[in-house]
């Protein structure tokens, strides 16, 4: 029926260590909960007889999509379902919505490009020495990725205590607990662990060679973190990438300004789904201030806690041009593979369309503050 149902199905199918990686946040998970709470606290104004010809299609960077929600970048999608990245990319293509592939994906950017003919973006982590990002940027360009999202909120990993308690860090290492948990979740064990190929960081294989073990690839991702990354490095990447560049992880209006100054075409207001700085504010609570100070022409996206079509409407009413989906399609993938992702996207589109009719708005770009009631109280 809804995304929360898919989450429940995902929890039933996945071993605890895998579900917690997908579902969890940093430390006390206050930011994770705040993202949802702030959306729930926003009220929409019902308007009668506003016309029923809703068209959700939306243009972003000159490309028309069927809806203003896009698949955001998430790493390790192969631990929920074999070839998880491919299933999500194919579902997005069929639904006509945008798709972003993570640096930490399990399917290489070249394979996605060969197998799914649809517009797609690449997300870059600012890891390692400049030649690391340069190599990924050049590959993304050759493989036809149209926009680059540079994620800057993860120079160190958040303290994700669920993962730490399970001993999970970028890969599943065999332990008695994991084996037992796997046996208790035989559908996952059969498909992901015993069935297909084990998930690997395929984008990174070229740096270590095809023969690198999973443990070596996981060590590589950890060793590549570069907490000294600076705005000058962003300017360097801006010069290397000729297409639209978005900076992801912005919560503070001043950082939005610095991102634009460094040459970004757009920003993603994000706290990484509550997985990095616990204590960071909910993304919708800072959105309006950031929207107010961004000039026309800059693209403003948001993510964090989007679980209902009405959440997309609320974010757009506060000034976003679109939203990225993180966990919502992943719950679908983990619950039922490709079919589950299709279902998640269909649920969100259906809910969004109903909401638009009930608030009397036919086009997402016409959404504005007038569609929200009591916004001052909710955001104070």
326 sits near ligand FNR (criterion: CB under 6 A): yes
Catalytic residue among 166, 185, 272, 371: 272
Q: Which stretch binds ligand FNR (CB under 6 A): 107-115, 132-140, 303-311, 356-364?
A: 303-311
| Shorter beta-carbon distance to ligand FNR: residue 270 or 355 | 270
The partner residues of 266 in beta bridges, in order of sequence, read 246, 299
Please give the angle made by the CA atoms of 284, 310 and 99, to the nearest 5 degrees.
80
- Cβ–Cβ under 8 Å, residues 7 and 23: yes
Binding residues among 242-261 for ligand FNR as defined by CB under 6 A: 248
21 labelled binding-site residue? yes
160 sits near ligand FNR (criterion: CB under 6 A): no
304 sits near ligand FNR (criterion: CB under 6 A): yes
Q: What is the token pair recorded at 93?
A: 């293509």
Among the listed residues 14, 22, 318, 372, the single contact to ligand FNR using CB under 6 A? 22
SS3 content of the chain, % helix, strand, coil (to 5): 50, 10, 40
Q: Which stretch binds ligand FNR (CB under 6 A): 107-115, 231-239, 272-280, 358-366?
A: 272-280
* Nearest-angstrom CA–CA distance, 164 and 352: 37
| Shorter beta-carbon distance to ligand FNR: residue 148 or 212 | 148
285 sits near ligand FNR (criterion: CB under 6 A): no
Binding residues among 23-82 for ligand FNR as defined by CB under 6 A: 35, 72-75
Q: What is the token pair recorded at 76?
A: 């390790």
| Shorter beta-carbon distance to ligand FNR: residue 269 or 361 | 269
302 sits near ligand FNR (criterion: CB under 6 A): no
Among the listed residues 182, 273, 319, 337, the single contact to ligand FNR using CB under 6 A? 273
Task: Using CB positions, name the residue nearest to ligand FNR.
Answer: 326
Task: Give the CA-trace dihedral at 128, 327, 344, 195, to 10 degrees.
Answer: 70
266 sits near ligand FNR (criterion: CB under 6 A): no
From the CA atom positions of the chain, what is the Rg in Å?
Answer: 20
303 sits near ligand FNR (criterion: CB under 6 A): yes
Annotated active-site residue 272? The verdict is yes
Q: Which residue has the tokens 């079919």?
A: 339
- Cβ–Cβ under 8 Å, residues 226 and 128: yes
The partner residues of 43 in beta bridges, in order of sequence, read 373
125 labelled binding-site residue? yes
* SS3 at position 34: helix
State the minimum distance, in angstroms, from the CB of residue 362 to ligand FNR.
26
* Nearest-angstrom CA–CA distance, 79 and 59: 32
E-strand stretches of 125-261:
147-151, 245-250
Return residues touching ligand FNR (CB under 6 A). Answer: 22, 35, 72-75, 102, 104, 123, 151, 248, 270, 272-273, 275, 303-306, 325-328
């Amino acid at each position: 029926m809804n995304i929360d149902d898919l989450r429940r199905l995902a929890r039933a199918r996945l071993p605890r260590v895998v579900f917690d990686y997908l579902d969890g946040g940093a430390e006390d998970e206050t930011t994770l909960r705040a993202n949802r709470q702030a959306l729930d606290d926003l009220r929409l104004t019902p308007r009668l007889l506003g016309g029923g010809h809703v068209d959700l299609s939306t243009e972003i960077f000159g490309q028309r999509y069927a809806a203003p929600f896009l698949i955001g970048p998430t790493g390790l999608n192969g631990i929920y379902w074999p070839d998880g990245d491919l299933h999500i990319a194919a579902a997005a293509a069929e639904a006509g919505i945008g798709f972003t592939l993570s640096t930490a994906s399990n399917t290489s950017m070249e394979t996605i490009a060969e197998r799914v003919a649809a517009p797609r973006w690449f997300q870059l982590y600012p890891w390692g020495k400049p030649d690391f990002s340069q190599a990924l940027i050049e590959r993304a360009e050759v493989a036809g990725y149209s926009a680059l999202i540079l994620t800057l909120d993860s120079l160190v990993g958040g303290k994700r205590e669920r993962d730490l308690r399970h001993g999970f860090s970028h890969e599943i290492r065999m332990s008695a607990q994991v084996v037992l948990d796997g046996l208790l979740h035989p559908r996952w064990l059969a498909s992901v662990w015993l069935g297909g190929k084990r998930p690997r960081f395929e984008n990174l294989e070229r740096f270590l060679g095809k023969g690198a073990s999973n443990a070596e690839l996981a060590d590589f991702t950890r060793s590549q973190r570069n907490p000294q990354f600076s705005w000058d490095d962003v300017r360097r990447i801006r010069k290397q990438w000729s297409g639209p560049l978005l900076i992801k992880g912005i919560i503070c209006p001043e950082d939005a300004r610095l991102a634009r100054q460094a040459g970004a075409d757009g920003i993603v207001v994000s706290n990484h789904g509550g997985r990095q700085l616990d204590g960071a504010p909910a993304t919708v609570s800072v959105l309006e201030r950031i929207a107010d100070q961004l000039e026309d022409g800059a693209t403003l996206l948001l993510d964090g806690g989007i679980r209902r079509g009405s959440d997309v409407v609320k974010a757009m009413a506060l000034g976003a041009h679109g939203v990225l989906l993180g966990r919502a399609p992943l719950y679908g993938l983990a619950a039922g593979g490709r079919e589950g992702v299709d279902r998640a996207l269909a649920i969100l589109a259906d809910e969004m369309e109903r909401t638009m009719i009930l608030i009397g708005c036919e086009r997402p770009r016409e959404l504005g503050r007038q569609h929200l009631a009591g916004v001052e109280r909710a955001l104070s």
